[in-house]
Amino acid sequence: MKRNAILCMLSGGIDSTGALHQLLSDADYANRDLLVHHIILQNRENRAQAELDAVSRILDYYQRHFPDRPFVYTESIFNTMGFAPLQSMRFPFDMDVCAFMAANIAVADKNIREVAMGRTQTDLAGGGDLKLRMERAQRIFKSVYSLERESPPNYIFPVVNFSKAQIWGMLPDELRKLTWYCRHPSYQADGKAISCGVCSTCKEVAAFRKPIN
C-alpha cells in the first residue's frame, strides 16, 4: 500500500515556500508522501524565468538540508503569450490555473488526498474580491472531478495563520533569500532577474526585510 500524499503547489514565492517548509519540517505532515509541482506561467508579467530560477534554488536547498524528507518534483508550462494580438490585460488568474493543474495532478495520482497552497493571513486580511476569486478557484478544482468516482482532495493551507512577514521571519535566512516575490522583474544580459522595487510585493517585503550588509 502506498501512503497518502500531499501535493504542494510551489511558485517560488515567499508564501508557497513557507507552505513547503512547514510540510517538510512540521511533524504533523511526516506520515504522508510529498509531491511538489511548479507551473511555469508564461504571460505578459514576465515572471516565469525568475520564478523557475527561484524554484531550482529552493529545491537544491531542500536536497541539501532535508535529505531525509525526499519528495517527487514535477512541473508544467501554461503559456498565454499568444494572447498578445487580443491587446488585452486579461489572462487567466494564477490561482485558477493552479487549481486546474492541481486537480489534474491529483486525478493522475490517486494517492494525493490533500493539496497545499500558500495562502496566508495577509491574503485573508486583504479583502477586496479575493474571497470570490478563491471560491471560483475551488469550483474549477472541483469541476475537474465531475467525471471521477472519488471525491476531490482537500485544500490545506500550512501558513494560513502566518502573515507574509511572519513567514519571512520563520524561514531560514539562506532559504528566504532564494525566494522570488517581485511581480514585474527585469532581466540582466546574463538572464539574472532583477526585482523592480516598486510593485506591491516589493514594497511589502522591503517593509519587513532587514537590509543586507
In the complex with Zn ion, which residue's Cβ is closer, 131 or 177? 177
Cβ proximity to Zn ion: between 167 and 182 the closer is 182
**142, three cell numbers:** 472541483
Binding site for Zn ion (CB under 5 A): 182, 195-196, 199, 202
Residues 6+ apart with CB under 8 A from 24: 34, 62, 66, 69, 71
Phi, psi of 115 (to 5 degrees): -120, 120
Smallest gap from residue 83 Cβ to Zn ion (A): 22
Residues 166, 8: Cα–Cα separation, whole Å: 20
Q: 126 in helix, strand or coil?
A: coil
Cβ 193 to Zn ion shortest distance, Å: 10
Task: Quote the least distance from Cβ 204 to Zn ion, whole Å.
Answer: 10
CA dist., res. 127 & res. 177, Å (int): 28
Q: How far is the CB of 113 from Zn ion (least distance, A)?
A: 36
